[in-house]
Structure 1
Amino acid sequence: MSTLQAVARGDNSNRSSGSSTRAGAARRRRLPRSAGWLGVVPLLLFAALAFGLPAGTMVFGALTTPETVPGGARFTGANMSASLHGPYLTALLGSVKLSALSALIAAVIGLPVAHAVVTSRFRALRESVLAGAGVLANFGGVPLAFAFVATLGNAGVLTTRFHLLGHGWNLYGFWGLTLVYLYFLIPLMVLTLAPALEGLRRQWREAAHNNGASTFRYWMHVALPILMPSLLGGYVLLFGTAFSAYATAAAMVGSSVPLVTMQIADALSGNVLVGQDNVALALGVDMVLVAGLVMAVQVPLQRRSTRWLA
């Protein structure tokens, strides 16, 4: 009986220790979740101050009249209505057209360039190209405009030597500005697509070839469907970069090409009709809405690509 009692006591102790161990493990699993939320609080506060407060101020100003007009500040939809008519609407559509076209060209060119870089057997060349792309993707503004004016302007080096103006070339127009935007959009696309291209497994290509698929069919039915969310994500990033660019366009074309960023700058400097001082804030809200609509297309597709490239 004593032996049976000892065994029973041992089983009970094992059960109690096992239950305590499971309870401790459950508590440890619960603790990181609560601690994780506490770690996110500073980030949420920073986002609220750095992004939420300016966005809220912009929306409030877009829906109110300035205090300088008769009657003082009051809620109105006149600013938003004015931002969608006349030269403001032309500038908004011009920015969308320029951003969409330049981002599309950069995506088409950036995909084969990024694939060549990723599949290169020379590691030094690959790292050098990616490092150079990181530099060129952040090179913009007035220095970039000056470089293109000195090279392809009316008295630029290549223009005077090859007589490009005689063939209808004009750097200070829509297509000239598109060419300048490609200088930093293509490297940005290369940086965006390089991680996605590295996620393509060699086994997928080998399986496609073993089943009789050509390289074209592999890209059309395997690689591109997997890369499509990343391509759309890169396109959205390029669209937003071109859509918000200001300094390069201001230094090159000024007001000759209608852009919403130019209209916002003019409105903020006081170059508006009386009572339309807050139209610039309404134009900013329009830009945020356009960017939000474009990003809404990319988010669900990005989740789909992560299952394949993980």
Structure 2
Amino acid sequence: MSALTPERSAAPPTRHPAGPEPAARPGRRAARRQRWPAVVPFFAFLALCFGLPAGTMVYGALTVTDPDTGRSHFGLTNIGDSLQGAYADGLAGSLRLSLLGAVLATVLGTLVAQAVVSSGRPALRKLVVSASGVFANFSGAPLAFAFIATLGTSGTLTRLFELQRAGFSLYTFTGLVLAYLYFLVPLMVVTVLPALDGLRTQWQEAAASCGATRGQYWRHVGVPVLLPSLLGGAVLLFGTAFASHATAAVMVGSSVQLITVQIANTLAGNVIVGQENLALAMSLNMVVIALLVMAVQIPLQRRSARWLG
């Protein structure tokens, strides 16, 4: 009986209510207040490096100077002029170049990435990823000089294969697209590889067990799952090509109408008196297009992460 005494005298366990304690909410609020100072430098950096230049650009784009009196006032004259004549052609040329380069790079980059994933060779994958990372960042003036030395009028391949007789010229819209593909295709390879790795092997095995062919699997399972990632990559390539300047400026100059080259020429002072802020208006047009690109890309990334996460 003495052995049972501790069991009888033991107090029943105390049950706590399931709901949160009243003091928990003030504690959470205090913790949030303590974390706010940690992000203040980040917001200060955004305001200084992004907010101030953006505000200056908007202010300048909306400022119109009278060439006769020299007085300034707010208006939409600069923005209207930036969407007319040669400036409208430059904006259309940049959009056409970016769209064509993004579509071609998306197709080619996806095929290369799928070949790397299907090979199942880690050494080949490391080599392709490393090379793609280098080539994706090799743009600008060095890339233009490399193409001029290779495919220019006196380039090595031009003389070797006599490309001029075939009507090929590097200093055209087609040559510019070819140069842009040099860094857009590797960028697409790096972008789409994680999405291809996210495809489950069980999905293909289940489709095969149900009698589906490889083409039916890709048409009904693989491509629909990869579509958000492919579209997101295409949008990223479009934005990259749209913002590129040095390659086109060195290779074709003003022979191909592009908005980035026109902005550089306008900032250099090649404008009529009273249109000094025209470059800021064209820059504002580019920022608006970039914001639209981001508005499309972010939902696509979230949907891709939901499918392949």
Question: TM-score, normalized by length of structure 1?
Answer: 0.89
Change in 2 beyond 3 A, CA 1:215/1:76: same
Does 2:284 align with 1:285? yes
Structure 2 residue matching 1:57: 3-state secondary structure: helix
Q: Distance in 1 between matches of 2:304 and 2:34?
A: 30
2:236–2:297 CA contact under 8 A, matched in 1: no
More helix by share: 1
Change in 2 beyond 3 A, CA 1:210/1:169: same
Range 252-261 or range 294-303, more displaced: 294-303
> How many angstroms does 1:38 deviate by?
4.9
Change in 2 beyond 3 A, CA 1:189/1:24: farther
Summarize the alignment of residues 186-265 of structure 1 with structure 2, pairs less than 5 Å apart: 186-265=185-264
Aligned CA-pair RMSD: 2.8
| Aligned position for 2:184 | 185
> How many angstroms does 1:116 deviate by?
1.6
2:62–2:78 CA contact under 8 A, matched in 1: yes
Q: Which amino acid aligns with 1:217?
A: Q
Q: Distance in 1 between matches of 2:108 and 2:75?
A: 45
| Aligned position for 1:110 | 109
Instruction: Give deviations 1:255-310, integer Å, cap 9, x for gaps.
Output: 00000001100110110111110010000111111222233233333322222111
Range 268-277 or range 296-305, more displaced: 296-305
Change in 2 beyond 3 A, CA 1:116/1:147: same
Q: Distance in 2 between matches of 1:66 and 1:134?
A: 46
Identical-pair percentage: 56
2:67–2:273 CA contact under 8 A, matched in 1: no
Q: Distance in 2 between matches of 1:64 and 1:268?
A: 16
Q: Distance in 2 between matches of 1:208 and 1:226?
A: 14
* Matched length: 304
> How many angstroms does 1:100 deviate by?
0.4
| Aligned position for 1:14 | 14
> How many angstroms does 1:176 deviate by?
0.2
Range 233-242 or range 66-75, more displaced: 66-75
Does 2:295 align with 1:296? yes
Q: Which amino acid aligns with 1:127?
A: K
Q: Distance in 2 between matches of 1:290 and 1:48?
A: 21
Q: Which amino acid aligns with 1:243?
A: F
> How many angstroms does 1:227 deviate by?
1.1
Unaligned residue ranges in structure 2 (runs of 5+): 1-5
Summarize the alignment of residues 1-310 of structure 1 with structure 2, pairs less than 5 Å apart: 10-11=11-12, 14-15=14-15, 18=16, 23=21, 26=24, 38-66=37-65, 70-310=69-309
Question: TM-score, normalized by length of structure 2?
Answer: 0.90
Change in 2 beyond 3 A, CA 1:196/1:281: same
Instruction: Give deviations 1:109-139, integer Å, cap 9, x for gaps.
Output: 0001111223332212211110110000000
1:229–1:298 CA contact under 8 A, matched in 2: no
Structure 1 residue matching 2:73: 3-state secondary structure: coil
Q: Runs of at least 4 residues of structure 1 off by over 6 A?
A: 27-32
Q: Which amino acid aligns with 2:14?
A: N
Change in 2 beyond 3 A, CA 1:35/1:207: farther
Q: Distance in 1 between matches of 2:288 and 2:172?
A: 27
Unaligned residue ranges in structure 1 (runs of 5+): none
